Amino acid sequence: MLRKKNKHIFRKTILIFLGIVLVFAMYQYIQARREVLYNRENGPESAANILEMGIEESSGIILSEDKKDYYWTHGDSVDYNETPRTSIHGFRFDSDGAGEHHEVFLDGAANLDWGDIARDKSGNLIVADTGDNLVRKNYVLYRFKEPELDQKKVEKNDIDKIIFRFPGGEELNNEAVFYADKSIYILNKEYGKTRIYRLMDKNIHTGSVNTAVYIGEFKFLKGSRMANYMDAATGADISRDEMTMVFNTYKGIYLFKREKKNTNFFDGKVYYHPLKWDSKVNQYEAVAFTKDEKNLILTTEQGNLYKVDVEDFKLLREAKPTEPIKDKVVEVGGDRKGITSKIKHMTHLIRVKIMDMIFR
């Protein structure tokens, strides 16, 4: 009799627990669905399309240093049986739309998974081969002088190949880079948050494997928990004075304003702007400031260009106390802690696909 009563209590407890889980899941779904609809209503409209010019799967964008209304972008990697994309593409974008396509081949470069493009203070462009389309131990940054408009190729000898790892040999997916504080910053692509690392110019050696230094972590603030677990950083840029940094995700743009150089951007004021959230139509891959820094330009894998007014951003959080970033020398260990990250990444991808089907 006692055993039968215990079974009844156990079943009742399980049913109550499952009911609580279901209510929580429904609440999260409603919140995420509400955010999807809000973003689709308040996100910017497409201003132009570069796919028509032959620029496929744009994965990075940066403003030219000296060419008016001119931007550089590049394609993502391709399937194994296709010709690798090892060129950057220039194009003009102004009030009349996009045009004047210009392709420049990077001699000797490989494209395992190009994630973003940046520009340093010496007039160099930096193409980041830092994605994780393949299991990899090392990541590569290609640094070279910005090409002229009549230039068709950057010679191999004119390209610095910067090879680096993350602390502990960790395997990370990274699709956002920018240059500030005499350093190349890298943002990793992790669902629900991003971590920031950097390589200081003075510590970079092109003849050996460099180690990126961990700076900090930022958990996404805008949206429900479920919505944020479907989101990841895919592009970044920096203002000329290096005090304002932006990175875009699949559903919004975060803008950080710091008060001093060489401090963690994530400690600064945080602003946000929504983007239309539909990965089949608008898979946002990159962001860049315009010349006057009053607007941001975004690209998508589908070729659409978007323009967002910086004044339209909303404050999410005030600045936090911060300290100057201290120089660190981190040795890469023999271990590789990538398997856990890979499993988590695959789990999130499955979740994204399922939720994308539900929301559509």
Residue 221 pLDDT level (bands cut at 50, 70, 90):
confident
Query: Distance of CA 197 to CAs 181, 216, 332, Å?
Result: 12, 7, 14
- What is the distance between the alpha carbons of residues 302 and 48, in angstroms, rounded to a whole number? 11
What range does the domain containing 56 cover?
38-359
Closest CA to 209 of 171, 153, 165, 263: 165
Q: What is the mean pLDDT of residues 308-327?
A: 93
Name the residue with higher pLDDT: 109 or 85: 109
Q: Are 98 and 82 in contact (CB under 8 A)?
A: no
Q: Decide if 129 contacts 186 (C-beta within 8 A).
A: no
Give pLDDT, residue 204: 94
Residue 53: phi and psi, rounded to 5, are -90, 0
**DSSP element (H, E) containing 209:** strand 209-211
Q: Is 181 left (phi over 0), alpha (psi -120 to 50) or beta?
A: left
Q: Tell me if 21 is assigned to some domain.
A: no
Give the Cβ contact number of residue 317 at 10 Å. 12
Please check whether residue 12 lies inside any domain of the structure: no
Report DSSP state, residue 281: T
Sign of the Cα torsion 90, 146, 254, 161 reads: positive
DSSP, res 11: H
Q: Is the pLDDT of residue 95 over 60?
A: yes
Predicted confidence (pLDDT) per residue in 242-254, tens digit: 999 999 999 899 9
- Residue 3 in any domain: the answer is no
Give CA angle at 298 (212, 187), nearest 5°: 15
Least confident of 71-80, 183-192, 251-260, 315-324: 71-80
CATH of the domain at 192: 2.120.10
> Exposure pattern of 198-218 as b/e (b: 16+ CB <10 Å)?
bbbeeebeeeeebbbbbbeeb
User: Greater confidence, 170 or 186?
Assistant: 186
Instruction: Return the pLDDT at 271.
Output: 97
Distance CA 191, CA 57 (A): 21
The confidence band for 79, taking pLDDT boundaries of 50, 70 and 90, is very low
Q: Model confidence over 133-181: pLDDT tens digits? A: 656 778 999 999 999 999 999 999 999 999 999 988 888 889 999 999 9
Q: Is the pLDDT of residue 354 over 80?
A: no
Q: Is residue 13 included in any domain, yes or no?
A: no
Q: Which tokens hold the place of 264?
A: 């963690």
Among 358, 248, 265, which residue's Cα sits nearest to residue 320?
A: 265
Residue 33 covered by a domain:
no
Amino acid letter, residue 221: L
- For 354, residues 6+ apart whose C-beta sits below 8 A from its C-beta are none
CA nearest to 123, candidates 72, 182, 64, 180? 64
- Full strand arrangement of the beta sheet holding 58-63: 58-63, 70-75, 87-94, 97-106, 153-154
Q: Is the pLDDT of residue 336 over 60?
A: no
Q: Residue 20: inside a domain, yes or no?
A: no
Q: How would you classify the pairing of strands 235-238 and 46-49?
A: unpaired
> Looking at the predicted structure, is the pLDDT value of residue 277 above 80?
no
Residue 15 lies in a domain: no
316 domain residue, yes or no: yes
Exposed, middle or buried by CB within 10 Å (0-12, 13-18, 19+), for 25? exposed
How many domains, in total, are found in the chain?
1
